[in-house]
Amino acid sequence: MSGWRHPTLGAVDRARPLAFDFDGQALSGFAGDTLASALLAGGPRILGRSFKYHRPRGLWGMGGEEPNAILDVTIDGQTTPNLRATTEGLRDGMALRSVNAAPDAARDRFGIMDIAHRFLPAGFYYKTFMALGWMRWEPMIRRMAGLGRLDGTHHPPAETPSINATCDVLVIGAGPAGLAAARAAATEGRSVWLVDEAVQPGGSLRWRGGDIDGAPWPDFVADTCAAVHSAGGRILTDTVLWGAFDHGLYAAWERRSDRPDRHWRLRAQDVVLAAGAIERPLWFANNDLPGVMSSEAALHYLHLYGGVAGRCIVLACANDAPYATAAALAQAGCQVTLVDARRDTPTAPDGVHLLRGARVDRAHGLREVGAVSVEGQYIDCDTVLVSGGFTPSVHLHCQAGGKLDFDPATDALIPRAGTASIRTAGAANGAFGLTTALAQGHVAGGGSGPAPRATTPDWTLSPMRPVPGTKGRVWIDPQNDVTLKDVRIAAQEGYRSVEHLKRYTTLGMATDQGRSANFAGLAAMAALTGQTIPETGTTTYRPPFTPVPLSVIGGMRRGEAFSPPKRLPLEGQHRAIGAQFREYGGWLRPAHYGSDEASAQQTEARIARQVAGLYDASPLGKIEVLGPDAAALLDFCGYVRMSTLKPGRARYGFMLSETGIVHDDGVVLRLAEDHFVVSASSSHVTSVRLILEEARQDTFNPASVFLHDVTAHWVTMTVSGPAARALIAGAGIDLPDLPHMGVSETTWQGHPMRVARISFTGDASWEMSVPARHGAALFATLDAARQTHGAVWIGLEALMLLRAEKGYILIGKDTDGITMPHDLGWGGPRDKRADEYFGRRSLFTPEARRPDRRQLVGLETTGTPLPTGAHVLAADGPRRSVGFVTSSYHSPTLGRPIALAMIEAGRDRIGQEVTVFHLGETVSARISAACAFDPEGERLNG
Amino acid sequence: MVERDWASRMPDPGATLTGEGLLITCHRQAGATLVSGDLDAALAALAPGASMLGLLDPVPTVPFVLRIARDRALVCSDRPLGISGWHDSFAASSADDLYLEITVTGPRASEVVAACLSAPAGSPSTATLFAGIGALVAGLPDGVSLRVQTPDAAALWAHLARLIAVL
């Protein structure tokens, strides 16, 4: 037996039928349905299988608290896993698939697990699978566990913008209390944002109805919306406010059908939480059978969608709220038996059979409910609706730092006023009745004058809790298959805190976060351990309040936009001559010119040595250090003294970390006594600036030295090679007469140009920097001359080869997290400098003095280049790694492979034979000096 | 993400993006000089009488000054000033091409700002994150003026292009 569709009730558009299927079964619903309402009104009862025992499970609730109806939903060929049927709108052509079932929910072969339930209590895997080792069992358990299945082809587009907004009053929840708060605040002239996860404001008024201030509730909603809008506020429906964060930040996910969703980051002067409450189940044997569902949800589906939960219904409760449900169902034509645990009850609604002072002991049925036992009496039914009271939705109050108090009158934990910068009203505050909710909302919204009034009396309730010792299997948390017995086992194991209970049993985890289960869990724990509810405590409430797609949180900054590289001003020019780009150190730079990388690298490197090579060095840092203390700052932050540098000269040096590790290398140019330019390596410009800035502010007089990172102002073109000087002259550029490491500020075509004779290739090189707006002209001029001279543009791959031939290091490639300058052969400053500099003390620790530290050397071999990263094994002694290859290329100039390596005491081993091991293969090599080309440096002088 | 596969491109000065109620335009700075230290002295020397702008403050005609930090600012001028070095109490560096200016104007400009800028107006500094990218942000009568370092302009331009399609 399943639910059915009432012929007239509900607000669905019956003129627009929608076809869908569930586990291959063709079904239909209407526009305006949710998946849950469509399934309730005509679909199967069994919508999924439970997490552990694979018990059949059906629809329970009406919102984010739904523990059972979790579906994989395919639309337009793309599947999204684990969507709650209660919160997804139905669309034509949807394919719904049950989760945790094989082949489907109705025929799940793993249902056999339930037979073995006695052997699978909470925590069984902590103990049972210790035998043979957990790692052996884990893969099997993981394959069986879990809910939906990921669709590897589904890549949700990164199209959810995150939008910042502020308002005077943020009201969370557009039910009676929220509406009253919003109206009160808006009437006072405050800008109000009213947020609700439903598609329309009204909350429970939408299915419970009622008159407010003598008028039908829709008038109250309309008045409130008009007041909000006229005061400059906004109403966001279909929007889940999913998290409260530090400094008053609230995050909300707005779902939109016609355009991409939006992610709001809201800040408000005042926040009112009116998120309502969630109905609790009742705890009798087999209370998880399909057909057992929330009474309030049944009323919701009946009035909003015309979905009727069943025909022969038992409704169990101990409060007044379900009486409206019973009356409505009876009026809809259902046979309703109301089982109220209280003896003092309201009058039975028309057509409803009322049993006072009675409780349901057990639900009967194998695959769905077919009867219940009430005080030993067997009552046939197809549906059991339950109402065990209400749990206020206090999550956001707690996320905002609020505390809770236990309220015996409502048997609920409610917000403690004044413990969070948020006010709570209505059912979220334990006010389970329309009149009180309206009054609380009015006060929370800062209303003056009388609050809106309703004629509906507030509800009374009698607390209902799980009773330890109840016979049969009583489910506390249906989503995680946690039973009352599991809670008892946890108590017997010695757990007392509900936090421990959660970890031991998994109670309250997963998509519903135990919203319908947590109170029962802690109540059962309290009863079993003889503690009070406050003593037992609550679990910690953390965002998100309800599952939010990662694509929403991630927003638009994914893929290419996640960590975009910096771009060269002349990227277009390079592309026009065939550059193939790649990211290097956060910059997108030409890797090579032409399509074949390997041959292009060799050709470019060869011609650069024979004639000249040109490359774009714009990303090299240009951090200007200015002021009377500029030299002192650079001395302090650098390993190599720069105060002794003369204006017009440049010097290579290192910057160390506090631990003495080489952080960056680069050249410092001195333009004037009080004006330097730090040419940090491309990938370290920011970090070098920050190291300098920290020292500037903390160690120096910050009024005496300043830093300007003007890297992006300049375009730098470098020409290197034996024909470089002639090429530049052929381009009509009047080079100043500079020695190696000389710098000059000159002009070109009337524009500023800085020329530096600095080489990263080992050949005579000129770096020419012009303001970026003149870069294209410089590029064109040099390119024309290049063609005349037979020179080439070289990409970074060729440049890497050329510098490796010279033994020039690349920080992060030829160094690692323990490399110190003396490991690189730069021990001079360490030995000679007596003044303090950054990282100095770390260079003299016992570790830094070890004679067997890895040192930079070269490796010579024959045949193919050594694999970068390959381990170097000593030819004699124990077979162990003494280092590794850091850079390796075939040198077209030398006609053999070259390599750089970091090897223990490497400089003392120069000339020794070693074995290079990589992926099971070994080759022989000989340790050499790092510099393999022009060791005397004659080519530097052109 | 393939390391070579970057579809976004640097916007050329004059390039525009349009959407309903939106016009986004890329401009080259006419002239700009980064100054630090004694800002009063710097302004007196480089842009006498120019006003110092904070976040979202309306941009007047040049010259004007965009504050970046307590002791740092960008002097915006109608041409490159060609001044750099240490000047007794302040430091100056040519920064004419350090930034590209992107203006976002139109009735829906405020929506773009809300989607990219979390800092509220009132900060004395124009330096902030705009769509996660460092920028100097000042106001225009019907929008905002952004100065983003040239190498980052492609990322911001691409983001704005995608944003106006989904707002």
**Is the pLDDT confidence value at A472 over 60?**
yes
Q: Which of A459, A413, A415 is nearest to A436 (CA)?
A: A459
Q: Which of A580, A628, A710 sits opposite B93 (nearest CB)?
A: A710
Residues 844-873 of chain A with CB under 8 A from chain B are none
In a domain, A646, yes or no: yes
3-state secondary structure of A54: coil
Peptide bond into A103 cis (omega under 30): yes
Which pLDDT tens digit goes with each residue over A584-636?
999 999 999 998 999 999 999 999 999 999 999 999 999 999 999 999 999 99
Same structural domain for residues A821 and A924? yes
Tokens 């609230």 -> residue: A250
Query: Where a domain ends, among A339, A354, A383?
Result: A383
Name the band, by pLDDT with cuts 50, 70 and 90, for residue B3. Answer: low
Of A455-469, A726-740, B139-153, which gets the smallest average pLDDT? A455-469
Average pLDDT over residues A856-867: 97
Average pLDDT over residues A86-94: 96
Average pLDDT over residues A406-423: 95
Same structural domain for residues A597 and A638? no
**A561–B82: do the CB atoms touch at under 8 Å?**
no
Whole-angstrom CA distances from A726 to A463, A675, A784, A904, B64 are: 95, 31, 13, 44, 45
Number of structural domains in chain A: 6
Which pLDDT tens digit goes with each residue over A337-351?
999 999 999 999 999
In a domain, A462, yes or no: no
**A559–B1: do the CB atoms touch at under 8 Å?**
yes
A874-877 long-range Cβ contacts below 8 angstroms, 24+ apart: A874/A912, A874/A914, A874/A915, A875/A912, A875/A913, A875/A914, A875/A915
Whole-angstrom CA distances from B45 to A10, A567, A627, A695, B33 are: 75, 34, 17, 28, 12
Query: Does residue A831 sit at the B interface (CB-CB below 8 Å)?
Result: no
ipTM of predicted assembly, 2 dp: 0.97
Which residue in chain B has the smallest CA separation from A751? Answer: B82
Which pLDDT tens digit goes with each residue over B80-104?
999 999 999 999 999 999 999 999 9
Same structural domain for residues A677 and A813? no
In a domain, A8, yes or no: no
Q: Which of A390, A389, A384 is nearest to A315 (CA)?
A: A384
Same structural domain for residues A827 and A699? no
Q: Residue B2's pLDDT is what?
A: 55
**Is the pLDDT confidence value at A203 over 60?**
yes
Average pLDDT over residues A685-692: 97
Q: Which has more pLDDT, A928 or A460? A: A928
Which pLDDT tens digit goes with each residue over A671-684?
999 999 999 999 99
Residue pair A650/A666 in contact (Cβ under 8 Å)? The answer is no
CA distance A385 to A61: 11
**A569–B84: do the CB atoms touch at under 8 Å?**
no
In a domain, A934, yes or no: yes
Q: Which of A164, A562, A773 sits opposite B28 (nearest CB)?
A: A773
Same structural domain for residues A265 and A332? no
**Is the pLDDT confidence value at B79 over 90?**
yes
Average pLDDT over residues B25-41: 97
Q: What's phi and psi for A921, nearest 5 deg?
A: -115, 150
Q: Residue B6's pLDDT is what?
A: 81
State the alpha helices, DSSP H only, in A266-315. 295-305
**Is the pLDDT confidence value at A120 over 80?**
yes
CATH code, A745: 3.30.1360.120
Query: Where a domain ends, among A404, A423, A444?
Result: A444
Same structural domain for residues A273 and A284? no
Name the band, by pLDDT with cuts 50, 70 and 90, for residue A792. Answer: very high
Beta strand residue intervals within A487-608, DSSP E:
566-567, 579-584, 587-593
Q: Which two tokens stand for residue B33?
A: 């000089």
Residues B113, B119, B120, B126, CA torsion sign: negative
Output the CA angle A34-A39-A41, nearest 5 degrees.
Answer: 95
Q: Which two tokens stand for residue B56?
A: 């979202």
Q: Which of B8, B71, B91 sits opposite A560 (nearest CB)?
A: B8
Same structural domain for residues A297 and A370? yes
Name the band, by pLDDT with cuts 50, 70 and 90, for residue A929. Answer: very high
Whole-angstrom CA distances from A881 to A819, A868, A877, B162 are: 17, 14, 11, 51
In a domain, A120, yes or no: no
Tell me chain B's radius of gyration from C-alpha atoms: 16
B33 CA to chain A: closest CA distance, Å?
10
E strand or H helix that includes residue B161: helix B153-166
Name the band, by pLDDT with cuts 50, 70 and 90, for residue A2. Answer: confident
Residue pair A900/A887 in contact (Cβ under 8 Å)? The answer is yes
Which amino acid is located at A565 in the chain?
Answer: P
**Is the pLDDT confidence value at A128 over 90?**
no
B130 CA to chain A: closest CA distance, Å?
12
CA distance A842 to A820: 9
Same structural domain for residues A821 and A765? no
Same structural domain for residues A271 and A349? no
CATH code, A686: 3.30.70.1400
Which pLDDT tens digit goes with each residue over A899-916?
999 999 999 999 999 999
Which pLDDT tens digit goes with each residue over A138-153?
888 777 777 888 888 8
From the number of C-beta atoms within 10 Å of its C-beta (0-12, 13-18, 19+), residue A510 rates as: middle
**Is the pLDDT confidence value at A365 over 80?**
yes
Q: Which of A806, A810, A800, A814 is nearest to A906 (CA)?
A: A814
Same structural domain for residues A826 and A922? yes
**Is the pLDDT confidence value at A26 over 90?**
yes
3-state secondary structure of A181: helix
Which residues from chain A sit within 8 angstroms of residue B83, using beta carbons?
Answer: none
Average pLDDT, chain A: 95
**A772–B8: do the CB atoms touch at under 8 Å?**
no
Whole-angstrom CA distances from B141 to B56, B62, B106, B138 are: 10, 15, 9, 10
**B114–A164: do the CB atoms touch at under 8 Å?**
yes
**Is the pLDDT confidence value at A511 over 90?**
no
Mutate to test the interface with A, among B56, B86, B113, B149 (most CBs of A within 10 A): B86
Q: Which of A580, A591, A626 sits opposite B85 (nearest CB)?
A: A626
B59 CA to chain A: closest CA distance, Å?
22
3-state secondary structure of A176: helix
Average pLDDT over residues A262-280: 97
What range does the domain containing A291 cover? 279-383
Query: Does residue A353 sit at the B interface (CB-CB below 8 Å)?
Result: no
Query: Where a domain ends, among A745, A765, A795?
Result: A795
CATH code, A370: 3.50.50.60
CA distance A676 to A672: 7
In a domain, A735, yes or no: yes
Which residue in chain B has the smallest CA separation from A773? Answer: B97
CA A289 to mean position of chain CA atoms: 36
CA distance A302 to A830: 82
Q: Residue B1's pLDDT is what?
A: 42
Query: Does residue A401 sit at the B interface (CB-CB below 8 Å)?
Result: no
Q: Which of A162, A581, A628 sits opposite B115 (nearest CB)?
A: A162
Same structural domain for residues A176 and A267? yes
Which pLDDT tens digit goes with each residue over A387-402?
999 999 999 999 999 9
Q: Residue A278's pLDDT is what?
A: 96
Residue pair A893/A816 in contact (Cβ under 8 Å)? The answer is no
Of A498-512, A806-820, B23-37, which gets the smallest average pLDDT? A498-512
In a domain, A198, yes or no: yes
In a domain, A130, yes or no: no
Same structural domain for residues A406 and A499? no
Which pLDDT tens digit goes with each residue over A487-506?
999 999 999 888 899 999 98
**Tally of CB atoms within 10 A around A764:** 21
The C-alpha torsion from A84 through A87 and A91 to A96, rounded to 10°, is 10
**Is the pLDDT confidence value at A130 over 60?**
yes
**Is the pLDDT confidence value at A274 over 80?**
yes
3-state secondary structure of A687: helix
Pairing of strands A566-567, A482-483: unpaired
Name the band, by pLDDT with cuts 50, 70 and 90, for residue B4. Answer: low
